[in-house]
Structure 1
Amino acid sequence: MSMSTPAAMPARVDGTSRGRIIFASFIGTAIEFYDFYVYATAAALVIGPVFFPHSSPAAQALSAFVTFGIAFIARPIGAFLFGHFGDRIGRKATLVASLLMMGVSTTLIGVLPGYASIGGLAPVLLCVLRFGQGIGLGGEWGGAALLATENAPEGRRGWFGMFPQLGPSVGFLLSNGLFFGLALGLSDADFRSWGWRVPFIVSAVLVVLGLYVRLKISETPAFRAAIERHERVRMPVAVLLRQHWMPVLQGSLAMVVCYTLFYISTVFSLSYGVATLHFSRQSFLGLLCIAVVFMAIATPIAALASDRFGRKPVLVASSLAAILSGFTMLPLLGSGRIELVALFLIIELFLMGATFAPMGALLPELFPTNVRYSGAGVAYNLGGILGASIAPYIAQLLANRGGLSWVGGYVSVAAVISLLGVLSMRETRDASLMTQAGK
């Protein structure tokens, strides 16, 4: 097949098919991140006392944050595993499998007995299921981004790649909204006894919806073209690490600020707001629900800007703003005043949306078709280890020892790391996803 034929293929995807594909890429990430955030919220509120009954509340919080970080260790493993099959057998089947893995793990956490019922086996099983969540999410994002970008028309990959990036905002709203409703409707005893399990069990219903949508879509044009040109490789991960390790590193560094902004703003700030600032659970969850709307607003704005001006200018500007935002933590969050705390959360989550949106197009653009699922997924999830896996834990330690100004410094340092990663990249806005070289 000539190179001109595949290049024309995206234009043959009609509007109805594109709408279905966009929805499939969005709904999957929304469900997967709903599952992931359900655990993050529970870790900040109740996982410690239920599964780690230490005498000290601080020790309980640290233990809960350790289990939170386990999934981020698992995510690159999931990216390697599902990336292999995504580059070998296709995007569609692999996305179905990753969604199943995440849904089953999350639902089982919802019915897992606590330490009071089964003793030390409870935290062990919790860690295993949290690891399963990480494996599932590790395989999700890369495939969802490719589903959108490999079907995007010329010059609109940033916009199409934005829809998987909207999934986290919606997933977070669903998760926190449900926890918020439970906090309002249940007594503290009922919430700690069984109420916190409801959002985990609801995941089973959402996964059925996601599977129905994903089973209706077809394979992407870029992958079909790679099959016809016999470009698939036997071991995509080996080729990726041997020939494309630099884009993996660059993409991982670029992702650090996204993760740090989000998990410091949500997991750490929620725990700090309730335990130290003495906000009620429902009050702080309500503030987070408001703030994440601004994250959702920033996402399409940054995506459109990345199509018009390029990925790098948008990411450089938002990373510089994130560096400055670290200095707002002490005067805003530390004030304990509801309006200033809300402003802090809005700033951080708006910047998270601005840094996160271009990644849906940028990371796939860094890699050729035959390793694109692996490359985009691995870069995305390695960034999670650096920016999120230990972020709440480190933030808790820094807050205990040096106060919120140290935590703000941590945010600024993470933004500097991402800025360096972005500056080292080539601009990818005009790259072709239909060619073997990905250029």
Structure 2
Amino acid sequence: MSTAVDSSATPGSPTKPANSRSRVITASLVGTTIEFYDFYAYATAAVLVFPILFFPTGNATTALLASFGTFGAAMVARPVGAIVFGHFGDRFGRKATLVASLLTMGIATFLIGVLPTHQQVGWWAAFFLLIMRLAQGFALGGEWSGAALVATENAPKGKRALYGTFPQLGAPIGFIIANGLFLLINFSMPGEDGAPSEAFLTWGWRIPFLFSAVMVIIGLWVRLNLVESHSFEGAQAKGAIKRFPLAETVRRYGKQLILGTFFMLATYVLFYLLTSFMLSYGTKSPVAPEGYDVAAQGPWVPGLGFSYVDFVLMQILGVVFFGIFTVVAGPLADRLGRRKVLIAVTSAIIVFGALFPVFLLPQGAATAPMTIVFLIIGFTLMGSTFGPMGALLPELFPPQVRYTGSAIAYNVSSILGAALAPMVAVVLWAWGEGSPWLVGLYLSAAGVLTLIALILSRETKDVDYDAVDVSR
């Protein structure tokens, strides 16, 4: 079927951004920082707190898997959020939709901070935690795409990938704030032998979740001052807005949805291996504690043996490189093209996965310098692949379905990557009896799938971003 594309000028001078550069940077960066902060606060608690307070199974590995199960449940909810928020974002505008997603995330995160534990209400505690986690995933399903559209639809010509890095920076900044706050709390109420203290388990862990309310208020104030982009207003003026954006997206842009989903796969697997999985792997002792009952609790799966504080500081150092290379990758993708940059970075991710056993030596042989180098390399690759995605995924779709299309691709990939990565990694870690080679192989396999999708795709850096498909 032939398509008719209208890229003519619309009222309001579309060549001039609808929002100032400072407003675009603030609105896209502050919102995603808050959203990712909430997400990472949960990820940290999923390792430190939730296996003890919400999933006391008696088996450390089983409890950790259950905790990661609720963590992964949010990824299943994200595509639902993408469909709902994408529908409203493509029908009624980006601004109100972004406000709603941020408010939903903030309320859910705050409520996690006041939940009763298993000791108080039994397994109802895990059920309530799961509901709040699903609400978090639902909210994040609409957040990222809207923030990416605010940035890229207001970008000057030739700088879409640079502007697309603004919402991407929310990931490393949110990670640093969330884990930094957990570190401060841990310092103020230390436990014995690196284990969480009684005060931390009783009320200290709740502080990061309650603190999110302050951040949400700031984010809401920023986003309420946005105005709609000319790309969306242009689609409205040309009568291109669809009553059911999801149906239009699936019917006409199915190929783009599939490619976009696999573009993100290696990115998701890499990030959640470096954060959630590595926090549990890096801080677990290489030898079983005295009195450990193998018959009752299963075989001991050794880790690297770092203290929680030391390992999180290593991660934060690596995340600094994540942020730096997120920004570096944007201008590079504007100059060379998204496809060339991402093919090169994804190839490096495949090699990196194969080198896991070189850097991560179990059974107490791990050294801090080698582990730091591992994290720096991994987070450098993470920033280099994540940075261009803020422009690439929205560029796959025209304005009238851009919110829906980019949100679904981004969040369906979260099921294949983020939801499964920590749980699959724990299972592979156990199968490998503490060796990380199977986990690295898993990352390399995800990288191969992403590489195939990139090879099958076309370059999008020169696409007319305001061109509206007005065919019926």
Residue 442 of structure 2: which of 410, 414, 421 is its match? 410
Matched, 1:142 2:145: yes
Corresponding residue number in structure 2 for 1:313: 340
Question: Do the aligned residues in 2 keep the contact of 1:77 with 1:135 (CA within 8 Å)?
Answer: yes
1:363 Cα deviation after fit: 0.5
The 3-state SS of whatever aligns with 1:428 is coil
Corresponding residue number in structure 1 for 2:163: 160
1:7 Cα deviation after fit: 9.9
Distance 2:223 2:43 in 1: 26
User: 1:141-194: CA deviations, max 9, x gaps?
Assistant: 010000010111111000011101111010011011111111222122222221
Distance 1:129 1:217 in 2: 28
Corresponding residue number in structure 2 for 1:303: 330
User: 1:256-303: CA deviations, max 9, x gaps?
Assistant: 111111100111010011112221111111111110000001111111
Amino acid paired to 2:8? S
Amino acid paired to 1:13? P
Corresponding residue number in structure 2 for 1:287: 314
Residue 185 of structure 2: which of 161, 182, 191 is its match? 182
Distance 1:290 1:9 in 2: 44
Matched, 1:375 2:440: no
Corresponding residue number in structure 2 for 1:101: 104
The 3-state SS of whatever aligns with 1:362 is helix
Aligned pairs (5 A) from 1:26-425? 26-187=29-190, 188-275=197-284, 276-334=303-361, 335-402=365-432, 403-425=435-457
Structure 1 spans left out of the alignment, 5+ residues: none
Question: Do the aligned residues in 2 keep the contact of 1:6 with 1:434 (CA within 8 Å)?
Answer: no
Residue 463 of structure 2: which of 412, 431, 438 is its match? 431
Question: Do the aligned residues in 2 keep the contact of 1:10 with 1:153 (CA within 8 Å)?
Answer: no
1:10 Cα deviation after fit: 4.2
Say if 1:327 and 1:226 are closer, same or farther in 2 by CA, change over 3 A. Answer: same
Residue 5 of structure 1: which of 9, 28, 41 is its match? 9
1:12 Cα deviation after fit: 2.2
Amino acid paired to 1:348? G
Distance 1:331 1:7 in 2: 59
Distance 2:12 2:237 in 1: 14
The 3-state SS of whatever aligns with 1:162 is helix
Question: Do the aligned residues in 2 keep the contact of 1:367 with 1:437 (CA within 8 Å)?
Answer: no
Amino acid paired to 1:270? L
Distance 1:8 1:173 in 2: 40
The 3-state SS of whatever aligns with 2:370 is helix
1:382 Cα deviation after fit: 0.9
User: 1:68-111: CA deviations, max 9, x gaps?
Assistant: 10000000100000000000000000000000111111110011
Amino acid paired to 2:395? E
Amino acid paired to 2:439? V
Say which is worse superposed, 113-122 or 329-338, in terms of deviation. 329-338
1:236 Cα deviation after fit: 0.1
Question: Do the aligned residues in 1 keep the contact of 2:7 with 2:467 (CA within 8 Å)?
Answer: yes
The 3-state SS of whatever aligns with 1:259 is helix
Of all paired residues, the percent bearing the same amino acid is 47
Distance 2:169 2:10 in 1: 29
Question: Do the aligned residues in 2 keep the contact of 1:31 with 1:207 (CA within 8 Å)?
Answer: yes
TM-score, normalised to structure 2's length? 0.90
Distance 1:11 1:29 in 2: 26
Distance 1:6 1:245 in 2: 28
Distance 2:71 2:137 in 1: 10
Distance 2:218 2:12 in 1: 32
Distance 1:348 1:7 in 2: 46
Runs of 4 or more off by more than 4 Å in structure 1? none
1:328 Cα deviation after fit: 2.4
1:44 Cα deviation after fit: 1.5
Corresponding residue number in structure 1 for 2:291: none
The total of aligned residue pairs comes to 436
Distance 1:394 1:53 in 2: 21
Answer with 1 or 2: which has the greater Rg.
Answer: 2
Say which is worse superposed, 134-143 or 276-285, in terms of deviation. 276-285
The 3-state SS of whatever aligns with 1:69 is helix
User: 1:14-61: CA deviations, max 9, x gaps?
Assistant: 7x7221022101111110000001111111111111100111111111
Structure 2 spans left out of the alignment, 5+ residues: 1-5, 191-196, 285-302
Distance 1:237 1:32 in 2: 24
TM-score, normalised to structure 1's length? 0.97
Q: How much is the aligned-residue C-alpha RMSD, in angstroms?
A: 1.4
Question: Do the aligned residues in 2 keep the contact of 1:274 with 1:284 (CA within 8 Å)?
Answer: yes
